[in-house]
Amino acid sequence: MPHLNLESFHPLTFPTHCGEVEFLFQANYKNRDEGALIATRYKGKEFFLVYKNNGIKKLLKSDKVTRPSPNFLLKHALLAYAECSGSPILDSNVDNAPENAHLKTYDALKSIQFFADNFPKEREVRIEVGFGSARHLLHQALANPDVLFIGLEIHKPSIEQALKQIVIQNITNIMILDYDARLFLEFVPSNIVGKIYVHFPVPWDKKPHRRVISEAFLKESERVLRVGGTLELRTDSENYYRFALETFSSPRQSRFEVRKNQEIAIVSKYEDRWKKQEKNIYDVTFTCDTESPEPDMIGNFTFSEGKIGAHAVDRLSKETYKREWGFMHVERTFSVGEKGSMIRLAMGSFDRPESTYVLIENGTARYYPSLPVRSSANLNAHILLDELIHG
């Protein structure tokens, strides 16, 4: 992850500009010596830089929750802060290379809000979860120009490589999203997806709850797939293969097939390596046989009217609030300026949690820099939070 080690950390006067980069405000950890978050805006993206006091070295890096894509946005913001604040750099892994010519236009990269506001449904949609090198995604998009492909990936270098190839090859039917696939499916309209590809996901043998494939994921996949649509798992993991067999057998009615060591049109460099090692490759394909109604989610992420008291954040328990729909947990609290505050929340369902920030200024609260995913569990967590901070 890009970062700078500073000889000393010098705060800015907010808000301020440094070239194209804007620094909006600073949120300090309750123990101010520990560090701070710096709200940053660059090329239309808002995110936090993180300052951590590590003794002799002062670390400046990205916040994991709001980290932007492509990666050059973060690199330029880090260097801009050091330059504008006069904070000397001891060492770093950040280069000052200009923006890649093939990333000057990254129209294919979308935000989750884009899909939440107006999901594209004029044509068949296919989704690839964790596209890695993007070989398969690019091949499928070129072979099926009338289909819209949505590629989900959280590995930043893989996203940048895919975006470069989309520009170089002038591909217009791919959208890229840096997001957790387990959460994304709730935004997809019912009966619109032709195929969902899950090729060589991380096995997570020691943490199986983190696997993409689960009963909840299968249920959402079945809802978004059109009749005859398929969810395709391809894996070299014997454990994941057997886990998928059990999961795909869970619905009252289900139809799936299993294939072993089948050739496909395009493979990743890792699959080439595994074949040379004579590892088995398993395909488990679930086929949707039923139409599904649209999900009914009522509510929004607006906070109630009425001034929020100065000690509202202090009233929030550090314990986890557990309910039948999921949970809410205050991970961190921050001070903003003289009277403002901010909290970082983990919220939502137990198997698909989301982290987000809530900024409280002048007695009013709002999510920052963006709203949570509009899932039923998150909406319930918001209602609980609203009740708690209004006392």
The full set of domain ranges for the chain reads 3-92, 106-287, 312-389
Specify which residues 225 forms β-bridges with: 193
pLDDT of amino acid 188: 93
> Any idea how long the chain is?
391
106-287: CATH, from 3.40.50.150, 3.40.50.2000, 3.40.50.970, 3.40.309.10: 3.40.50.150
For residue 105, what pLDDT is reported?
A: 59
Which stretches of the chain drop beneath a pLDDT of 50?
A: none
Which is it for the CA torsion 249, 251, 255, 257, positive or negative?
negative
Torsion of CA 129, 133, 138, 140, to 10 degrees: -50
Local structure of 294: helix, strand or coil: coil
CA distance 371 to 374: 8
Q: What backbone phi and psi angles, to 5 degrees, belong to 333?
A: -125, 145
pLDDT of res. 309: 82
> What's the pTM?
0.75
Side-chain-side CA neighbours of residue 321 (13 Å): 21
Phi, psi values for residue 95, rounded to 5°: -95, 165
* Whole-number pLDDT of residue 212: 92
**Are residues 213 and 234 in contact, defined by beta-carbon separation less than 8 angstroms?**
no
Among 29, 71, 74, residue whose Cα is nearest residue 48: 74
Q: In Å, how far are 236, 243, 273, 274 from 277, measured between CA atoms?
A: 11, 23, 6, 5
Q: At what angle do helices 156-168 and 71-85 cross, to 10 degrees?
A: 110
pLDDT value at position 276?
81
Alpha carbons 50 and 48: distance in angstroms, whole number = 6
Residue among 68, 64, 69, 70 nearest 52 (CA): 64
Q: What integer pLDDT is reported at residue 275 of this predicted model?
A: 78
